[in-house]
Amino acid sequence: MQILESFRNIFKIKELSHRIFFTLAILLVFRLGSHVLLPGVDESGMKRFQEMGEQLGPVWYFLQIFSGGALANLAVFSLGIMPYITSSIIMQLMTKVSANLEAIAKEGPSGQRKISQYTRYLTVPICVVQGFFAVRQLNVLQSGPNAPQLVSGGFGSTLTLVIGMTAGALFVMWLGEQITERGIGNGASVLIMAGILDRMPGIILMLIEKSRTQEVAADAIVLMGVLYVGAIAATVFVTQAQRRIPVQHAKHFRGRRVWMGSRNYLPLRVNTSGVMPVIFASSLLTVPSMLAMVPGLGFMNELFAGRGFFYMAGYIAMIFFFAYFWTYLFFPPHEMANNLKEYGSFVPGIRPGENTSSYLNGILSRITLAGAAFLCMIALLPDLVSAWLGLQRFLVAFLGGTGILIVVGVCLDVAQKMESYLLMHQYEGFVAGGIRGRR
């Protein structure tokens, strides 16, 4: 009842209701643009192209997630939000590598605006490069004897398609920024979530139709539903899980007054890196299929085809590597220890400085190990269920992988933002005590 009352209170707050309706309007524009064909695309061969695309495996599914399904429709938004995400990741890494960019990022709101502007500039060449390779791959797909002819392979057609994809990706980037500024939640993440959820009704209807024709057993569908609910619950639990380090603040003297040191906690998330290790690992697993096109490297495709041993081993190894890489890049223990020391804070029983850094490093390495192991389980769940039940991979893809991590993370972020509005206007939140990290 408290949740229902909270939803009713949402629409009593004028600013929050306006932000929600504005976000829904932007999402409607985004979904409409995902069905507008690129100029020069032959609509007659679209269905055969979509059927052929589902056979491309992880590369196709990974690109479909970030394009919101527009890639299969050869729409203006075919590149989706992926160029902007790529640019944002590059800029985040560069701020840790470049001293000048790091100094700009620490300038406060003005520095963040400069970094955002650099991110937009970098998105343009990334759009052009990704659009060019997308058109080249499209020409390769339609070069087969029975492949549908969708576009002409001339220079003019290629240039038109690249310009169309670039313009669409930049418009999607603008839509995402509008959601961030005037809507609710992070715009890029909300657009990705909308694309993922848009595909789910079609998959559910397909499963129901296959159950009617006895292609899929009814108990298999029930089992997938149970696994899906369990995967969501586990993802929410791990996403919110924290290891809280007690921190004691020293006494402060201001004039003749003495401010007693307070005690609070330094929260370290179990899954500090979020979905980034899975995204990096999925993107790198597309490299062998690209290298297989080089003469003499065809064996790369055989090694990583069919999601066999080498695919699974490489996927797990890269998830663990990027989980530790991302965590220690953005949350270095020595930097946290130095910040605590500068502000006169310390961990009870641990000496400030190097000892605190070693203590935090030990805790961070253990919880990152648990978070990376969970990411591997979620990422490989669709492949394991597909092999177990003998179903096509795209029918069980919603059970785990990048999709469920993004959807759960975005839903929690949006729920926390709405709850902050409710609490600010003296309403109760969605749950007793509020949505917060769990110990």
Mean pLDDT value across residues 177-206: 84
Instruction: Return the percentage of the chain with pLDDT > 70, whole number.
Output: 77
The domains found in the chain, sorted by start residue, are: 14-215 (1.10.3370.10), 216-399 (1.10.3370.10)
Residue identified by tokens 């057993």 is: 217
CB atoms within 10 A of CB 357: 20
pLDDT of 368 > 90? The answer is yes
Q: Tell me what the pLDDT averaged over the chain comes to.
A: 79
Banded model confidence at residue 38, pLDDT cuts 50, 70, 90? confident
Q: What is the pLDDT of residue 145?
A: 59
Q: 127-141, 220-234, 358-372: lowest mean pLDDT where?
A: 127-141
Per-residue pLDDT tens for 90-99? Answer: 888 888 888 8
Residues 6 or more apart in contact with residue 18 via CB below 8 angstroms: none
Query: Are 116 and 176 spatial neighbours (Cβ–Cβ below 8 Å)?
Result: no
Residue 434 and residue 413: Cα distance in Å, rounded? 13
Q: What is the pLDDT of residue 175?
A: 92
DSSP 138-196: HHHHTTSTTS---S--SHHHHHHHHHHHHHHHHHHHHHHHHHHHHSSS-HHHHHHHHHH
Query: Are 160 and 40 spatial neighbours (Cβ–Cβ below 8 Å)?
Result: yes
Q: What is the pLDDT of residue 350?
A: 86
